[in-house]
Structures are given as structure tokens and as C-alpha cells.
Chain A
């Protein structure tokens, strides 16, 4: 690592301020706190997350979500699959925040929805608090949803335009039989609104009468009112103004500290994830390519794809910005209907090697101290033994309405 004067050095210096805060955080280390089932907020010391020793609240093992591509005039014939999520394993400890990043179309949203079974996973295992979620059927799955809630990207379209805020919030309570006592329900709604920073007068209003940030607060309140353990936030701030983004992220953080929530935050904004996540996973084309604690990942990205992502983040210092090395990825993102064999990233990887990369899919493996990387040559790249080379860009053949099934073929340009 020492001989490289790449972007990571700059990133490290830039990170120093945050690192201090982070070490202060790691200090308190109650592995047992914030467990689901314990009264939220009472036992959880603020900011006990990040130690990595907590009990996993949710575990995904080799989860796959494939969407069939149907074709045919009278009888639907499956002509192929979109491999949206193709074998992802991760676990999130109770009270922690897991940030999932990746470019659009890499399957991060589908993973979030598959985790909640809003889309049905094709394969794999989802264990939530010791119970196999995929084995739950009908009514028991519906009941289980109380503990795992979701926050959506577009706050307006995820709120039914004909429901007042009160009706939006009460709906979930009613669905789980928690709205029997009128008095208590009303108190619960008010408390929840207060927790997300909205006045009680909001109850009688409708979603269109609020600003974007307020709408997202309503969306958070809707998830929060059920007192869940896990919240999957799918791009919770990307539809908001930058100034509002910080407010909403802070709100999420405060709520986590107060209630011991566990988050899976899906975002494409690296800064957002760095700000809020304890552990960060990077996805590329349906698979996890790297996973590490937020500090490690941003200080020392090890997977070539992560390096390219990180080098795209501008540095707010013109001198540094001009001199720093940038890795520009060549070619198109391959189509998830026809992912490359071997390492998904080898078609665009500046470090790709003639051996293994094209025919052996690298597993996510622990490289150094909890830093998991899916790359055959992670150590060599990190040590500088391998140098980046030019990549002949390969373009995705556009879907020209030809025979179905052969879309997404990669065309070499050189």
C-alpha cells in the first residue's frame, strides 16, 4: 500500500476528521444491545454500532433474484433470465447500518426488495432474527412484515394520493391489529410524527400538501410507526435536495440511536453511504464485489471496480483534484441478461489477467481483517504487484428487436 500514491492517500487524509469520530464510536462495544425484541431505545447506547461483533439480525446466503423474460404470442415461453441479483451473501448486525452502493441496474434495489420478499427471490436463504423468511407463507409472512419495513426512493409516488397522513400511518397499525385502542393509536401517531419532526397538525393533510423532505419524513413515519427492527431504505434521499438530504440522513441516524434500528441503506451516492453506514457493500452486476467497514472501504478500496468508483468522487481541493489518478472504466455495463462468464467485471477491469478472470467467478473472500473482496488478485493489486493496463472497450449490442434471447451480447471494439 505504501508505494502507491493513488487516490486512496488523498482519501485517507480527507477522511481523518471522520475517523476520529469513528474511533470514538467504536469504543462503546455492547454486543448484546439493540437486539430485536428488547425494548427499543432503552438498552441501546447511542452509537454502539460499528464494532462488528453484534448478533446478526438478518443474514442473506447466496440470494438470487432472476426475472424470466417471456415471449410468445399465445403461450408465454421463457426465453431467458435477467440475473438481477445473482448470489449475494451478507449479514447485518443488530443496530448497525449496512450501506449498499453500485451503479444503476446493478441489482441493489432488487436485492432490497427481495430481502423483504416484495419480489420473490429465486434461490438462497434469508434468515431474519433466526427465522427463515423464505419459508414463511401467506399470513405468517404478512405478520412478519411488521418487523421489517421499507422506505422508498420517491416519497410522493410511494404515498397513496387519496390517503391523509393519518390514514397512511394507521393503515399499517390496522393491518397488524395494533389500532384497537383509539386513544393509544392517536398518541402513537403523534409520537411518531414528533419523532420524525412533523407537527401533529400534519395528520389531517394529504401527501401533495408537503414538500419533498416532509414527504420523506411521512414515509419514514409510516415505517416507524410499526416499531420495526429492520428498515430497508431504497435510495432514501436521492430524490431530495442536497440540503434536505442531510436532514433526512441525520433523522435516520437519530432514530437509530433512539430506537436501536438496523438499516440497510441502498444508495448510489458514495457520500451518503459513507456518512451513514457502518459497513459498506459494493455491488456490480448482481453480485457483491467488496464489503468492508465504511472506514476501511473508503480508505483503501481493494476491488478494481470499487477503486474506479472511488476515483470518480471529486476532491474539494483543486491541486489534489488535478493531480490525482482517475480510473475511467471503458465500455458498457454488460447486460444482466447475459452477464460475462468468470468475474463479472473482467470485461472492464484494468487489472484483468489472462488467467482465471474470464473463466472462474471469484468468491467474496476475507482479504485483510474483515475486508471482503471478490477478486482473484486483490492482494497483488493492493501490493502494487499488478499494474493497470488499457482495456479494449466492449459495447453492449443494442436491443434491436431481433431474435429474443441474444440481447446484451458484448461486442469487442478493438
Chain B
């Protein structure tokens, strides 16, 4: 039991009241060195009280300045925000580095595809078509490291250009899915009540169907298949996942102490949702987006594989290459299937690794 007489801190001097035990010296201190310095006008008429007042203020100021200086010197220049801290931990995680390297390479290849690819991806080469028959497709030759595709086009260049299409479909589908999902989830989580019930039953229905089946249905519903129907179908499939995730973590945030604290402060309900619940819930969604990206690439490839993808025969796309050419000519030249499949797997793996590492890094529990 803590005894009030021995409480620490009760007799503790505060900045500013330390020198109060010096008044007795006050009058005598006049001629001492140091005193004229602060009293340049040398007014002898100063009462001891006034002088004491000045001395206290001065001592307090000096002490305060010294403390501040000390604080500046020892403290790190600024606070470490959640994201900066996460980034620091991300950089130390080998899994994150592997994922980031894969993703980085993939994005670079996609952006600079026309510069990297040795040939035009749609041009049919005479030297390749010459040897093209039903049961033989030319392999690697000089100038064509991966050989030919079934139409006599440079397979290597098509692989490189395929990354563009994959990135495009993946980014767009994820972004659309993320936006719609965040909207639905935020509305459900912020309003609750029957809005929440209606929206969540809707997502339940969508989640009840296997995602690929739902995507196939959506594509089949479109009158004319194009790359946009693929993007849209893949995006819609990911909406309920985002919505549920955001809604769930917003509900958890609603019960959290810091939201309660904000409410106790008198922060407006709208600001509580926008400044506390939503930002704190978004981290989970951002991580999910990285993982969804991998799924979107796979789903798009699956749709192409099933012949529901982009009908444009000239467009280089990994899923299409795997599904149409790879499947049809697997006996003749299995590389036509191997390379696109490998590319899809590696890229999806890269995004998954990065996503998992982000999930770990961003978790506030890991903060020291």
C-alpha cells in the first residue's frame, strides 16, 4: 500500500520553483559577480522580490533551454510513423526483398517491353514460318531464343510483351475491385444496421459461388468478349472479399479503445469514421490488394485459358498463350505451355510474398 507521506514526486521540485529557497541571499547578492550582468541598468531601487522574480525566470529559462537542447540531441529527429516503421521492417525481411525484386523486375519488363523485346510481337517471320508444320514448331534459333509460336511469331518477344497485358489486367482489376469493395465495406462498417445487413447478404451471395465460376458467368453474360470483360469480371469477383475485410476491421475498430477515446473527446462521428476507423482498417485491405493482384493474374489467365479471354489473336497474353497455343501444341512443343505458366507462377508468387511480408510489417503489434 503506498503511503502518502513517502509518495515519490510530491516534494519534487518543478522547473521554476527551485530557487525559491534563496530569498535570504537576495539583498546581499547585489555586489556579487554575475549579478550586474543580468541587471545592466543597475537599478538599486529593485525590491528583493522583483529581483527574485527575475532570477527565477532566468534560471528557469536557462534550465529549460538546456533541457530542450538535451532533448534535441538525444531524441531522434522526429517520430517514426506507422508506415515509415513498416517500411523499415520490410527492408529487413528477406521474403519481402525476394518478392519486391520479382515484382520490380516484372514491372520494369512490362514498362520497357518494346525496348527489351528483340522483335515485334505480331510480326510473322519468314525464317520461322518456313519450318512450321502441324507437328513441328521451330525451337531456338539465332535471333529467336525461344523459337517460334504456332503462327511463326517470335515467342520470346511475345512473352515479354505478355507481361504488359498481365500487369494491365492485374492492376486494373485489382484497383476496380479495391475501389468498389472499399466503398461497400466502408458504408456497411460506418452505418451498420440494415445497410450493413443488406450489403453483407449481397456479398455472401457472391462469395457462395466459386470465384472462377462467377467470373465465367459474368464474362458469358457480356454480349461481346473483350479484355474489358475479363478485367471487369475479375474485379467483381474480388469485390466481396475487400468489402467483407474492410467491414470486419471497421467493426473491430468501432469497438476499439482509441475510437472510444475519440468519441469521448467529442470528435464528430464523420471524422471518427474518416480519420480513425477507415485509415486503421485500410492496412489490412492494402495487404489484401497485393494478394488479390496475384489472384487476378491467375483468374485472368484462367479465363483466357478457357477461351473466354480477349479474342484479339494478335494480343500477347500469358493466359491466352498457355491456354490456346500451349494446350493445342503441348505434344509438339511443350515450351509453349511451360514458359507462360512459369511466368504466371513466378509473378503471382512475387506478389504473394510481398503481400505476406507487408501484412507482417504493417501489423502494429510488431512495433516496439
Q: Which A residues fall within an 8 A CB radius of B?
A: 17-18, 21, 113, 116, 118, 142-146, 149-150, 152, 154, 157-162, 164-165, 171-172, 175-176, 194, 199-201, 204-206, 208-209, 219, 222, 226, 243, 245-247, 249-251, 254, 271, 274-275, 313, 316
Contact = CB atoms under 8 A, between A and B. Distances in A.
B68 A199 contact: yes
Contacts of B268: 142, 175
A146 B10 CA distance: 29
Given A17-B3, A206-B81, A275-B4, A162 B280 contact: yes
B258 A201 contact: no
A271 B256 CA distance: 29
B79 A161 contact: no
Nearest to B367: A208
A204 B9 CA distance: 26
A375 to B, nearest CB: 26
A143 B1 CA distance: 39
Nearest to B3: A17
B84 to A, nearest CB: 10
A226 B276 CA distance: 20
Contacts of A175: 265-268, 271
Interface stretch (B24-32, B42-50, B70-78, B229-237): B70-78
Contacts of A161: 82, 258, 280, 364, 367
Given A160-B280, A209-B80, A18 B4 contact: yes
B81 A222 contact: no
B183 to A, nearest CB: 22
A206 B268 CA distance: 23
Contacts, number: 121
A206 B79 contact: yes
A146 B9 contact: no
Contacts of B224: none
Contacts of B257: 152, 154, 157-158
A18 B3 contact: yes
B68 A246 contact: no
Interface of A is mostly: helix
B68 A171 contact: no
A124 to B, nearest CB: 20
A172 B266 contact: yes
Contacts of A254: 9
B124 to A, nearest CB: 56
Contacts of A201: 68, 71-72, 75
A172 B271 CA distance: 11
Nearest to A139: B268
A145 B258 CA distance: 16
A118 B267 contact: no
B71 A118 contact: no
A175 B262 CA distance: 10
Contacts of A146: 266
Contacts of A118: 260, 263-264
Interface string B242-277: 000000000000001110111111111001000110
B82 A246 contact: no
A7 B336 CA distance: 89
B368 interface: yes
B271 A206 contact: no
23 contacts: A17-B3, A118-B264, A142-B266, A145-B264, A149-B264, A149-B265, A158-B260, A161-B280, A161-B367, A162-B81, A162-B280, A172-B267, A175-B267, A175-B271, A176-B266, A199-B71, A200-B71, A201-B72, A219-B261, A246-B2, A247-B8, A250-B7, A275-B2
B90 to A, nearest CB: 17
B279 interface: yes
A209 B77 CA distance: 13
The 8 closest A-B pairs by CB, nearest first: A145-B266, A205-B79, A172-B265, A158-B257, A201-B71, A271-B1, A150-B264, A157-B257
A52 B46 CA distance: 45
A171 B263 CA distance: 11
B359 to A, nearest CB: 16
Interface string B299-340: 000000000000000000000000000000000000000000
A246 B7 contact: yes
